Amino acid sequence: MGKVVIIGAGGVATVAAHKLAQNSDVFNEIMIASRTKKKCDAIAADLKARYGVTVKTAQVDADNVADLTALLKQFQPELVMNLALPYQDLHIMDACLAAGCNYLDTANYEPLDEAKYQYSWQWAYQDKFKQTGLTAILGCGFDPGVTGVYTAYAAKHHFDEIHELDIVDCNAGDHHKAFATNFNPEINIREITQKGRYYLNGKWEQTGALEIHEPLTYPEVGVRESYLMYHEELESLVKNFPTIKRARFWMTFGQEYLTHLRVIQDIGMARIDEIDYNGQKIVPIQFLKAVLPAPETLGANYTGWTSIGCRIKGVKDGKEKTYYIYNNCSHEAAYKETGTQGVSYTTGVPAMTGAYMFMTGKWSGKGVFNVEEFNPDPFLAKVAESGLPWHEIINGDLEF
């Protein structure tokens, strides 16, 4: 039925590729193209062995728009899944426009020289995608991604007005390494060391990095210290659900992780500017990435669960209501199925699900969309069937 290109060959791309191969009735031609071709070839060999599916591979630097456009014109996919890094978003969107392909990603654009992510750069492509009759689906991982769909589902089925939204992201897993990040280390450390930000009564309130924290209870996991951070889906959710008065994002971190992070910052290894080293220019955080474990290698010894969801307060039929919708994902089960850990799994499965929604015509439209703008029902049915079942607690204690 459809041709798809995945760009990138890291942890998230690996999971998405497995899931596309498991749905080969819909995705009947797949290409994996990335900077390092041997990583694409390794994924392709695994897919052949596990599912008997043949996948094409290619080398491409997605920052080279001309090269990527040529590749896309040659393969002519209907959809390009950008599972590389946020720095590539605009270049890949440009190549999609030039080659006439639709677009999907899991993280919003961030300039290489400034740790500042926001949707404005990608929302600015609205007219171009509309005029060319193409669709761009932004932020279709777990958070952003499933959390936006959960919110849309809550708004559609459980509330007349949503007033408070708290997105809670707990990784209660243990990879048995002294320090490692669960997705690309450079992007991860840039995100966590930023100032905190949350939405209150029409304004953005700023906090120090990880300054506000409280213990929250996660289903099947227990109590974990949770830290308020800024996260990109807050920007689109308060725009698309204007009754929201307060929107916040919380993530759990262990003390050991935070101590490592503090040392990394204190000794200058989180710097994103160039320094001179023996006559060569290097960026400390990029050097750090090169020596830290790659996220896709963490799976083998990873135990425990992730638990991510939305805690929502609002009004239904004139009465106050609370609603908690969440998924728990086992790192071990994710590894058994795809050879990668739960954080890559919880991102790659929704990316495939969004692609499935698009290819089967359940999500459609011309222009640039955030996931919460589409019908949440078919997505949540498919994502549950694909390995990320969800659960609801109605009128329970949200702890806020």
The nearest distance, CB 319 to ligand NDP, in angstroms, is: 33
Cβ–Cβ < 8 Å for 144, 106: yes
Q: Which residues contact 355 (CB under 8 A, 6 or more apart)?
A: 4, 16, 20, 27, 79, 81, 104, 140
Between 22 and 106, CB nearer to ligand NDP: 106
The nearest distance, CB 268 to ligand NDP, in angstroms, is: 22
Between 14 and 159, CB nearer to ligand NDP: 14
Q: How many CB atoms lie within 10 A of CB 320?
A: 10
Q: Which residues contact 124 (CB under 8 A, 6 or more apart)?
A: none
The nearest distance, CB 62 to ligand NDP, in angstroms, is: 3
Between CA 6 and CA 18 the distance in angstroms is 11
Between CA 310 and CA 153 the distance in angstroms is 11
The nearest distance, CB 88 to ligand NDP, in angstroms, is: 5
Cβ–Cβ < 8 Å for 161, 243: yes
Between 91 and 311, CB nearer to ligand NDP: 91
Between CA 34 and CA 185 the distance in angstroms is 18
Strand partners, 306: 171, 329
Between 221 and 251, CB nearer to ligand NDP: 251
Name the residue with the smallest CB distance to ligand NDP: 10
Between 92 and 261, CB nearer to ligand NDP: 92
Between 107 and 247, CB nearer to ligand NDP: 107
Between CA 85 and CA 92 the distance in angstroms is 11
Q: Which residues bind ligand NDP (CB under 6 A)?
A: 7-13, 34-36, 39, 60-63, 83-86, 88, 106-107, 141-145, 183-184, 187, 295-296, 343-344, 347
The nearest distance, CB 20 to ligand NDP, in angstroms, is: 15
Tokens of 336: 């058994």
Between CA 299 and CA 303 the distance in angstroms is 9
Between 135 and 184, CB nearer to ligand NDP: 184
Phi, psi of 217 (to 5 degrees): -100, 125
The nearest distance, CB 106 to ligand NDP, in angstroms, is: 4
Between 323 and 345, CB nearer to ligand NDP: 345
Cβ–Cβ < 8 Å for 2, 26: yes
Between CA 183 and CA 343 the distance in angstroms is 7
Cβ–Cβ < 8 Å for 81, 351: yes
**CA dihedral for 9, 15, 19, 21, sign (positive or negative):** positive
The nearest distance, CB 334 to ligand NDP, in angstroms, is: 13
Task: Give kind and range of the element (H or E) at residue 338.
Answer: helix 331-338
Q: SS3 of 37, please?
A: helix
Between 162 and 351, CB nearer to ligand NDP: 351
The nearest distance, CB 1 to ligand NDP, in angstroms, is: 25
The nearest distance, CB 301 to ligand NDP, in angstroms, is: 18
Between 12 and 237, CB nearer to ligand NDP: 12
Whether residue 144 is preceded by a cis peptide bond, meaning omega within 30 degrees of 0, is yes
The nearest distance, CB 63 to ligand NDP, in angstroms, is: 4
